Amino acid sequence: MNTQPQALRYNSALLPETDMTLSTPRRFLLLFVLALAMAATRVSHFGTSELLPDASLAVFLLGGMLLGGWQYFAILFAAAFGADVLSAQTAEEAGWCLTPAYWGLLPTYAVLWLAGRKLGKYDNPSFVRDAGVSVAAISLAFVISNATWFAFSNTLGGMSAADYALAVAKYFPPYLGSAMLYLAPTWLGWKLTRMASENKTASN
Per-residue pLDDT tens digits for 17-26: 434 345 678 7
Concatenated DSSP letters of 103-151: GGHHHHHHHHHHHHHHHTT-SS--HHHHHHHHHHHHHHHHHHHHHHHHH
The predicted pLDDT at position 2 comes to 39
**Mean pLDDT, the chain, integer:** 83
Q: Of the given ranges (13-22, 65-74, 166-175), which has the lowest mean pLDDT?
A: 13-22
Sequence-distant (≥ 6) Cβ neighbours of residue 42 within 8 angstroms? 54, 55, 56, 80, 83, 84, 87
Q: d(Cα 16, Cα 12) in Å, to the nearest integer?
A: 6
pLDDT higher at 22 or 155: 155
CA angle centred on 142, ends 189 and 33, rounded to 5°: 40
Q: Of the given ranges (1-10, 139-148, 151-160, 191-200), which has the lowest mean pLDDT?
A: 1-10
Q: d(Cα 32, Cα 39) in Å, to the nearest integer?
A: 10
Q: d(Cα 22, Cα 183) in Å, to the nearest integer?
A: 23
